[in-house]
A and B are shown apart, each in its own frame.
Chain A
Amino acid sequence: MPVHVRIPTPLRSITKGNAEVQAKGHTVEGLVEDLERQFPGLKERLMDESGELRRFINIYVNEEDIRFLEAKKTALKDGDQVSIVPAIAGGG
């Protein structure tokens, strides 16, 4: 069973309009590689040239911000829910 990935509106043009896709990977980093294989162009929207997560993107694994886990090295298992969410929102 693969990992479920929720895709925000700005990236759905790359995922053929899908709001949720399935992908595989032992870590978040590996997941992004698999997403790139399935949907070319997605990786550069999430990571910068040095492979770091972009400033205005947050990634959550089972509702937890990966910066509280192991960041892009965070381990994944089958059935996990991953959310990609634009960082700019909220305030008081």
Chain B
Amino acid sequence: MEKLNGLRCRECGRRYPATPVHVCEFCFGPLEVDYRYDVLKTVVTRESIAAGPPSMWRYRDLLPVEGDAAVGHHVGFTPLVRAQNLAEELGCREVWIKNDSVCHPSWSFKDRVVAVAVTKAKEFGFDTVACASTGNLANSVAAHAAEGRLKSYIFIPADLEQGKVLATLVYSPTLVAVHGTYDEVNRLCSEIADKYRWAFVNVNFRPYYSEGSKSYGFEIVEQLGWRAPGHIVVPCAGGSLITKIWKAIKEFKTLGLVDGPVATKMHAAQAAGCGPIVTMIKNDTDVLVPVKPNTIAKSLAIGNPADGYYAYKTTKESGGFGAHATDDEIVEGMLLLARTEGIFTETAGGVTVAAARKLIEAGVIQRTESVVICITGNGLKTPDALYERLEVHVKIKPSLSAFDRALADLKSHAV
């Protein structure tokens, strides 16, 4: 099946063959994969998808790979959880958690983009993959490079959480810690990618890589019973995920796979200490003003997001909005999700829960409408944010009487 027309500039429309390039030579706009929807319409059905594997590869026809997945065969198809306890706490009727904190193999949604990028790297014959990362991408690129027996160069800001450094090093990549912010790491990687012939998943492979995020949106619709929700709250770092979830919903609509209307409002969640996209939304301007990040949500600490402009346009086009979360609100968000639903997310998830709460309280999200909260990473990667907030409650000697005393003590305190 010839499903691709190659790449196309999102700004000026110039066409390029499907090669490892990411910006338009003329206007520097982003290149996007151009699908032949007329062809896809004849082959992609609910039945064809349902007959696929329980992974993101059930949507393979809508991803820019030529053959089978080369790595990451079990990525995706994570739980969409009906969060009734959280809904009661938020005063809402229908709340869902799309839980990529348990995405295989590296516990974040980044496995989706990396599985596509590394498969493409192998298709194009590269022997080395690389990335600039705030942590989750580092974990995922290193893991999939190991699986694909490729060399990997991973560039991170030197002040990253220890959990994320460890969960990269374990796969034996070449890890380069750069003294600087993520934005400085990213700028350096753009220059390195220009010089070395490596598959930089989020630089020269970005058109393919970013398409992997669509699978998160496809799954939301399929798992809701081929229905589009009223609202989706999405954490924003580089701003790509929110645009690709929206694209996924529109593609399903184009292919006639969605029941009922598509009126989903896309909302952006960012930290107050690094929220340039939400600032654009609040000021209703398409000009991004970069910031120097200062937040505990390090995985979202991108002060100069590449897709900021498109993330803003996605919220605007869909009728959504955005909210900032302070560091305290981020921690409260993490604890709220854990306490109500038994789901332990990283700081980015705390941002999303906190933002959803604010949007509900402000009346932007109506309490009678359905809302999906995007949880994209695992709490065990960022324990640092919580150590000071949690205490070991009871320490006793191994005797029944000691326990009886402790229990009586706890009960008296609880009253």
Interface residues of A (CB under 8 A from B): 6, 8-10, 13, 19, 45, 54-58, 60, 63, 65, 67-68, 83, 85-92
Contacts and interface: CB of A to CB of B under 8 A. Distances in A.
Contacts of A91: 137, 202, 206, 210, 237-240, 302, 305-307
B137 to A, nearest CB: 5
B132 A90 contact: yes
Contacts of B200: 89
A68 B186 contact: no
Interface stretch (B89-97, B189-197, B349-357): B189-197
Nearest to B239: A91
Interface residues on B, range: 35 or more
10 closest residue pairs by CB, A with B: A91-B238, A90-B186, A56-B28, A10-B25, A88-B30, A86-B23, A89-B203, A89-B190, A92-B237, A92-B137
Which residue, A9, A19, A60, has most C-beta atoms of chain B within 10 A? Answer: A9
Given A56-B23, A65-B183, A65-B304, A88 B194 contact: no
Contact of A63 (B134, B182, B184, B290): B184
Given A8-B194, A58-B187, A67-B289, A92 B306 contact: no
A89 B191 contact: no
B302 to A, nearest CB: 7
B176 interface: no
Interface of B: 11, 22-30, 110, 132-137, 182-184, 186-187, 189-191, 193-195, 200, 202-203, 206, 210, 237-240, 289-290, 292, 299-300, 302, 304-307, 309
Contacts of A87: 28, 304, 306
Contacts of A89: 22, 132, 186, 189-190, 193, 200, 202-203, 206, 306
B52 to A, nearest CB: 27
Contact of A56 (B30, B134, B289, B305): B30
